[in-house]
Chains A and B, each alone.
Chain A
Amino acid sequence: MLSLRARAQLGARRPAAALAAAAVAALVAAAPADARQKPRFDPPPFSGVFEFGDVTPATQLTECPQAGLRGDDPLDQRERDAVERISDRSNDTRFNQDYACFPQNETTVAINPLSTRNLVGGSNDYRLGFSYSGFYASTDRGRSFYDGLLPVPSLPDADSFDSAGDPVVAYDREGVVYFSEIAFNRTDDSGGIFVMRSTNGGFTWSRACVPVDATPDDPTDDASRCNPGAGDPRQPGDGVVTFNLDDNDEADASIQFDDKEWMAAGPRPDGVGPQCFTPIQRNPVDCNPAVVGSDRVYVTWTRFAAVEPFESEIFFSYSDDQGRSWSPAKPISGSAPFCAFGIGSKCDFNQFSVPTVHPRTGELGVAFENFNTPDENQYLFVRSLDGGNTFTAPTFITPVFDVNYPTAGEERPDCTDRGQSGGLDVLTNTCFRVNAAGNVVIDKRGGAYADDYYLVMSDNRAGTNGSSNTDVFFFKSTDGGKSWVGPTRVNDDRSQLPAGTPRDSFANGNFGNDQFFPWVDINYNGQLAFGFYDRRLDEDSTRTEWPMSRTRAGNYLSWFFGAGCRIERADSRDCLAPGAAKIPQPTEPQDQPDGTVPGQGASYTTDDIANSRVSDVPSNFDYSFRAGIFAGDYNAVAYPNFRTGGSRDALGLWTDARNGRGSGGPDSSQPGRNPACEQSDLFGTYFDPERQSTGSSVDQSPFEFTPCPKSVRDRSDNRFNEGD
């Protein structure tokens, strides 16, 4: 059926204007671009870190809550509030070690295959006031961390980028760890995708080098260097997956924008040798044997075109020399009969690609969300058996019921007032942006398991525009992604949209609580570990600093939850709910029917999947970033990528707002406060996915509403005042 949004768009004949209208309704602004400059339907969203590259306004605070930092707090002179006292009893581990009182969000984590004591996390890290990529390295299995910001890629004019984010970390089989990011300017359109490399467990990193063309008058000559001046020893092009140089020094979207990359590493398939490339033209050249990596490093991303029809295809590149050179970017999202609007059935409006590589065969699979649809969107999958030289056409995994999320703008003017961009999806009671994306992972075992894939995502099929009830769903393929079986609902709490209640409506009610931002990994024993945010434990809270956003009791605070299930038999229905069924490959674009759709009710859950609360305390994401409008776009769950681990416990890493507080109003005022009180940190812990334990005895009420510390006393008796 056509959603409210789709109908509005079609009816208006200027679909994208309907999105813009939301915020236009709020404020007189320069109006959205005219119709010919807009896609014909819901465009994929850009990265959160691009939308929210900085944390202005930095208004006023000298100290802030620091729960989770172990050891002495040498500068802390505050009285601890109830949230901090409760949080300090938690066993969750804080990854970021800074005292900056600025946010970290959007997590990624990986474990060294050669030593499970070594792990590296990453995030959008705003400790400088704007986002760069933060890294968090441990050599004691996460008990303590060394952290910092990644080196910023150097540009041909010797300048540096303004911001970076969308972090991803991955190890190769030799224990080299890679960190990919987008980096961009905020005052013009220059940007790109970059990969940094660490050979010491994530403590020091290479610096990407956008090459300077030494022979600009000869486009066939790739002679280049790393800086306008001489003496830079780096290899030109090191770490540069893509670089797009602005053509007019204006931030006006005049050139393509590469966004939302993801990365994976794995062996080159049999018969595929290492291949390296020149830094500018990307012509194939022989690799330097001394730097050929054990694995091929793959990066996929979305390329938002700057010319009509403003496609956003999924692109792909790889490196065989530990990220020093990269293959030419090429589109892989292909064409399919179920992709609407695209010329030649191209699936050319996409976002949220994630690659996964089999650690023995090198088989590569990529899943992504596609927006070439009449209404509800769709998850697609492509596969390569030759190291990315060729890919299959996309196969259909599942419809994505994400067009009926509450949306900032006309549906949620409260969120627009708080600074959320019009058209972005939000949840009931809050205004931070959400999406339906998850990830795909290939079974790490051999034999009959070797081409099995597992996908997790979330959507609002059991909720409405007026009252969200997002759930986490699991899909399984045992034939290399040719066909998929699902949905199986991962979260095992109540979730049911009553019969006769259209999901595409503003109907209010409590149909169930939200689960979102899912991730999944699998270990060598076939143990699947899921992680996601979960609001089920907040049943009746009513307090909030943003009362106009609150329309329903409960469903406000978020915990990080885990879930797990073991695939014990190949080609089986292990971990599938009774209602999960083989999903037909459509022969034309799909418009999902009115009424109940698969995924709701008891027949779509299974006792095989255990659920457990992982975080010890909840997060109030109204306190995470500015006026509660950003908490990152994804979470992380990881097992060691190779056999050394063997552990049943998975590592979860999530964005956590336990140290955030409200900045609004006199109760939160503190003269001279700088920065604001809203912030989030990275917290993580190992968890047993097979454990079934969803309760919590933590007093939630302080987390619902706790203002910023009122004052920091300039104590004459502080411990640094020795009185002499």
Chain B
Amino acid sequence: MRSTIAAAALAAAALVASCGSDDPPEPLRLQTLVLQDSDLPDAFEAFARGPALRPEGGAGRRGDRTRFGRRGGWSVSFRRPGSAATAGPLVVVSRVDEFGEAEGAERALAEVGAELRRVGRPLAPPGIGAESVAVVQTRGGTAPARFYTIAWRDDRLTGSLRVSGFALDADDALALARTQADRMASALRPA
């Protein structure tokens, strides 16, 4: 009898645990997962910072902000004074989006990756997070502006970083992307 009760208790506990695992994860503090002022040289200043309320790319108010189970996003943009002669990044845009499940983030990144490869020149995957993509775009003539975009997924988060300027290379973007990726990883897997 006792063993029966114990078994029932174990089953109930398992059920409770099982129910608990189906609960949606607690929302993360997304503003802490993007690049922070301290991640950039002093010359940079944030000129836009806030929740990413709607999907990028929707001209107007169309756009399903819950696509693929998206729960929210956060974006911060930094800039520094400079010109075409300034070495390194001039504008840095850091963004994170949170999804209910990893599958949603995976599907979102797949879609984004396809678009990135369509509009930019693909670079070797930078190996950030579970999967990642990187491209470079250029615009302008004799001193073209360069736009490096790195996007990646870590569990149910997607992150992205765009770094632009005139005299810069992929390493400039990669270093900042790794900084942001570390923040995201720490939030997902606290020590």
Q: Which residues of A contact B (CB under 8 A)?
A: 16, 19-34, 37-38, 43-46, 50-51, 56-57, 59, 251-253, 257, 304, 310, 409-410, 412-414, 416-419, 421-424, 508, 545, 547-548, 551, 626-627, 663-669
Contacts and interface: CB of A to CB of B under 8 A. Distances in A.
B82 to A, nearest CB: 7
Given A45-B59, A419-B77, A665-B81, A28 B109 contact: yes
A253 to B, nearest CB: 5
Contacts of A28: 95, 97, 108-109, 112, 151-152, 158-160
Given A252-B65, A419-B48, A547 B95 contact: no
Given A57-B49, A627-B48, A665-B79, A38 B62 contact: yes
Interface stretch (B3-11, B15-23, B24-32, B83-91): B83-91
A251 B70 CA distance: 15
10 contacts: A25-B115, A29-B112, A31-B68, A32-B57, A32-B63, A253-B62, A413-B147, A418-B48, A551-B139, A551-B141
B30 to A, nearest CB: 13
Interface in B28-54: 42-43, 45-50, 52-54
A551 B152 CA distance: 31
B56 to A, nearest CB: 4
B126 interface: no
Given A26-B162, A30-B55, A423-B57, A548 B91 contact: yes
B164 A45 contact: no
Nearest to A57: B49
A23 B63 CA distance: 12
Given A30-B55, A57-B49, A310-B62, A24 B97 contact: no
Contacts of A508: 141
Contacts of A409: 57
Contacts, number: 217
A30 B68 contact: yes
B60 A422 contact: no
Given A24-B115, A414-B145, A547-B84, A37 B162 contact: no
B109 to A, nearest CB: 6
B108 A667 contact: no
A413 B57 contact: no
Nearest to A433: B59
Mostly helix, strand, loop or mixed at chain B's interface? mixed
Interface string B140-155: 1100010101011000
Given A257-B61, A423-B57, A548-B90, A417 B164 contact: yes
B118 interface: yes
Contacts of B53: 251
A33 B84 CA distance: 37
B61 A253 contact: yes
B97 to A, nearest CB: 6
Q: Among the interface residues B52, B62, B79, B147, which one has the most CB atoms of the partner chain A within 10 A?
A: B62
A24 B56 contact: yes
A20 B58 contact: yes
B183 interface: no
B139 A33 contact: no
Given A32-B57, A413-B139, A548-B145, A21 B77 contact: no
Q: Among the interface residues A20, A418, A423, A508, which one has the most CB atoms of the partner chain B within 10 A?
A: A20
| 7 residue pairs, one from A and one from B, having the closest CB atoms | A20-B57, A423-B59, A665-B81, A28-B160, A23-B56, A23-B57, A29-B56
B45 to A, nearest CB: 6
Contacts of A551: 139-141
Contacts of B64: 30, 32-34, 37, 252
A675 to B, nearest CB: 13
A31 B112 contact: yes
Contact of B97 (A22, A30, A59, A548): A30
A500 B42 CA distance: 48
Contacts of A37: 62, 64
B119 interface: yes
A666 B137 CA distance: 28
A52 to B, nearest CB: 12
Contact of A27 (B43, B90, B111, B160): B160
Contacts of B149: 25-27
Contacts of A669: 45
B35 to A, nearest CB: 13
A673 B75 CA distance: 21
Contact of A548 (B115, B151, B165): B165
A422 to B, nearest CB: 4
B59 A422 contact: yes
A548 B73 contact: no
A28 B97 CA distance: 7
Interface in B155-178: 158-160, 162, 164-166
Contacts of B181: none
B70 to A, nearest CB: 4
Contacts of A668: 45
B52 A666 contact: no
B99 to A, nearest CB: 8
Contact of B59 (A33, A59, A412, A421): A421
Nearest to A409: B57
Q: Among the interface residues B49, B64, B115, B140, which one has the most CB atoms of the partner chain A within 10 A?
A: B115
Nearest to A422: B57
A548 B61 contact: no
Given A26-B149, A252-B64, A547-B166, A21 B59 contact: no
Given A252-B64, A414-B145, A32 B119 contact: no
Nearest to A312: B60
B66 interface: yes
B83 A547 contact: yes
A26 B182 CA distance: 21
A476 B28 CA distance: 59
Given A25-B116, A548-B90, A666-B43, A31 B55 contact: yes
A664 B68 contact: no
Nearest to A666: B43
A553 to B, nearest CB: 12
Contacts of B66: 30, 252
A665 B45 contact: yes
Contacts of A304: 60-61
A43 B60 contact: yes
A669 B48 CA distance: 15
Nearest to A29: B56
A551 B138 CA distance: 12
Contacts of B49: 57
Contacts of B61: 46, 50, 251, 253, 257, 304
